[in-house]
Structure 1
Amino acid sequence: MSEEEFRDFDEELSEGDPEEGEGEVEVVEQELTKELAGECLSLLSRTGNGLSHAYVRLDLKNRKLTDIAAIQSFVHVRYVDVSGNYLEDISPLGELPQLLTLHADNNRLATINLKELQYLQVASFAQNKLTTTEGLSQPMLDRLNLSSNQITELSGLTETQLPCLTSLDLHGNKLTSTIGIHLPSLQKLYLASNTLTKLEGLEGLRQLTTLHVRENQITTLDGFAPSMEGLQYLNLRGNAVEVLSELTKLQCLPFLRGLVLAECPLCELDEYRVEVLILLRGLERLDKDEYTEDERADAEELSKQRAEEEAPENETVEHT
């Protein structure tokens, strides 16, 4: 497993859109013009049919735009960034048949009104006003960022609507439950900084390798299942897990190699690192630090000692 997979995921929570915390802000209507769009084009590339060339990147960040209807004319564009504007509607982007990557962070989107795009692979709608995950049907979408919105429950996240999704970022929302994620192709799931007290409904995520749930209110580790055996990295930093035996519920994850429990009450236990290793022998790192050979030897010795101490007790019970 790579170093990147084991790194501690330091989410940067939303600082809010330009209006949050500032009262009513008057927004002047600002329509995108073809002239402005033309000035923001870059990256000359062959067109889809290979017979000519066109600019395929359009960067419209921080332009105070409220309307992007004119974007429909730029049918060869593949990479679009409209972050940092005042957009409430991005439906015109649905008229860009070659679109591969879309960034629409920090706008005023309450819903995502975007028709299916055949080639769209990466989409980011962080720091908007979304309250739902509905309306996200995209056949080739691989990575989706919905972080720092106001989403309270999950729906519409199905294999039918998002058959190719491998990475989903929902950190910094208002989720109280993880029920509603039915994406068997998903490999990375980010749920940090919500209000979760437990994990549930994740057993169908058979391809999941990375799960971040740091800074929630999780007390128990129910919700893991043998069907999630591919999970390699689990970040529980800053939760409320305090009972060591809860870690036995992770023994159904044979390929778990990285675990983060920092800032959980459990960390205050004596010989914390060794105790965790006794229960989860396959771990390579705990709280970003690799286990040393000495720690592994201590865990083996202590485990053996406890087994020997329990053996006579068991024999006595059998004889009685």
Structure 2
Amino acid sequence: MYWDGEKHAYIPADGQSNTGNTDTESKDKKEKNKSKTELVQCLTQNDIQEGLSLLCKTGNGLAHAFIKLDLKKRLSNISAISNFIHIRFLDLSNNLLSDLSPLASLTQLLWLKADRNEIQSFRRQPFAQLTFLQWLNVAVNLLTDTGDLVGPSLETLNLIGNRIEKLSCLDGRFANLTTLELRGNQLETTEGIYLPNLHHLYMAQNVIKHLKGLENLERLQTLHLRENQIETLDGLNLNMRCLQYLNIRGNKVANENAIQSLQYVSKSLQILVLSENPVVESTEYRINIVMLLPNLERLDKDPVTSDERVEAKEKFKVYS
């Protein structure tokens, strides 16, 4: 094996001792900490060598290095990774990490999976140095805000299952972002997303009550808002001329007045999911929706039929 320009510094695992102390107190402490040292450890060179794969040419084309690294070791410290500067694909999921700063030297990183760790904030994290990073997964951590995150090359950002209550800094610093995953957080509004190039937005299983700020999402194609607390679709607007899929399943939309804003996306919307809302209990629910959305192809689980289109047109004439 050959790694170009990489130093392999060894960091011993927690709990390893060379003092030779054999007294009873020392043994008792070792026994008490045995299970912890088995589960929590610092990254070692052996861990890195076991996880390396995908041998590729380096930037100058004259040498080779492994560019993919998988580390699922219940790690609490990854300082030893900083010398492996050629890594482009890194999986750090299912560890105990709160500090990703050793990644600052991995400036060629394209793909980072750091879900199921203990990251509490983006402050003092290395993302400003990871200017080529395109795909980031920090799902199921302890994040409460999106502040201090930067990602000039990010195309996909996964923040599922955190504790985020507020969206901030999601603006021009993410000019290439097309997919944003925010399911399972604690958001009360859709406001705070200023991403005109965003195509897919997933915000299911929050506590969203109001649709706000959507006029900034001019290229949005998918909006997923299942299982929130939305009572009205006010907030949909004419700027959303690319929206094709809208899921409002399991909310509190109660009547026809609450769905009138659907007319603003009538030219583009192809699929609408409104099941598990009180409004679907109306006997003319489907016909009323088709009247508002003449180009709709599917409502809830079922395709819109030709008979429904005819009936909707006839009803529209009566009310015109």
| 1:208 CA drift (Å) | 0.8
1:118 to 119, 131, 144: 131
Tell me the TM-score normalised to structure 1 length: 0.84
Please report how far the alpha carbon of residue 304 of structure 1 lies from its aligned counterpart in structure 2 after TM superposition: 2.6
Q: 2:210 aligns with which of 198, 201, 225?
A: 198
Q: How does 1:268-307 map to 2 (within 5 A)?
A: 268-307=281-320
Amino acid in the other structure paired with 1:97: T
Q: Does 2:151 match 1:138? A: yes
Question: Aligned pair in 2 of structure 1 residues 217, 42: CA closer, same or farther (>3 Å)?
Answer: same
**How far apart, in 1, do the equivalents of 2:145 and 2:106 lie?**
24
Q: Which residue of 1 aligns with 2:274?
A: 261
2:223 is paired with a residue whose SS is strand
Tell me how far 1:27 sits from its aligned partner. Answer: 5.1
Corresponding residue for residue 240 of structure 1? 252
Kindly indicate whether the alpha-carbon contact (under 8 Å) linking 2:170 and 2:192 is maintained by their aligned counterparts in 1. yes
Q: Tell me how far 1:244 sits from its aligned partner.
A: 1.4
The Cα offsets for residues 278-307 of structure 1, whole Å up to 9 and x where unpaired, read as 121121111132111122122222323444
| Aligned twin of 2:178 | 166
Structure of larger gyration radius: 2
Contact 2:263 2:293 in 1 (8 A): yes
Offset, 1:140: 0.3
Distance 1:127 1:209 in 2: 26
1:153 aligns with 2:166: yes
Deviates more, 1:239-248 or 1:296-305: 296-305
1:225 corresponds in structure 2 to 237
Aligned residues of 1:258 and 1:288 also touching (Cα < 8 A) = no
Whole-angstrom CA distance in 2 between matches of 1:83 and 1:115: 17
| Residue pair 2:253, 2:259 contacting (<8 A) in 1 also | no
Residue 116 (structure 2) pairs with residue 103 (structure 1) = no
Q: In percent, how many aligned pairs have the same letter?
A: 48
TM-score (norm 2): 0.84
Determine the C-alpha separation between the residues in 1 that align with 2:62 and 2:307: 64
1:63-78 counterparts in 2 under 5 A? 63-78=73-88
Q: Distance in 1 between matches of 2:53 and 2:147?
A: 33
Q: 1:34 aligns with which of 42, 45, 61?
A: 45
Greater relative contact order (Cα 8 A, min sep 6): structure 1 or 2?
A: 1
Secondary structure of the residue aligned to 1:226 is coil
Query: Which position in structure 2 is the counterpart of 1:212?
Result: 224
**1:73 offset after TM fit, Å?**
1.3
User: What CA RMSD, in Å, does the superposition of the two structures yield over aligned residues?
Assistant: 1.4
Name the aligned partner's letter for residue 41 of structure 2.
Q
Distance 1:101 1:115 in 2: 12
- Cα deviation, residue 119, structure 1: 1.1
* Equivalent pairs, count: 280
The gaps in structure 2 that reach 5 residues or longer are 1-34
Distance 2:251 2:293 in 1: 19
**How many angstroms apart in 2 are the aligned matches of 1:177 and 1:246?**
17
Give a deviation string over 1:117-160, Cα, whole Å, max 9, x none. 1210000000000011012111100000011000111111111x
190-199 vs 297-306, which moves further: 297-306
Q: 1:44 aligns to what SS in structure 2?
A: strand
Equivalence for 1:15: none
In the alignment, the residues of structure 1 paired with residue 263 and residue 110 of structure 2 have an alpha-carbon distance, to the nearest angstrom, of 40
- Shift of the 202–97 alpha-carbon distance from structure 1 to 2, 3 Å rule, reads same
Residue ranges of structure 1 left out of the alignment (5+ in a row): 1-25, 308-320
Q: Secondary structure at the match of 2:206?
A: coil
CA distance 1:244–1:77, change in 2 (3 Å):
same
- The equivalent position to 1:178 in structure 2, one of 190, 194, 204, is 190
Q: Which amino acid aligns with 1:40?
A: G
- CA contact 1:114–1:136 (8 Å) conserved in 2: no
Structure 1 Cα separation of the partners of residues 230 and 316 of structure 2: 28
Letter aligned with residue 260 of structure 2: T
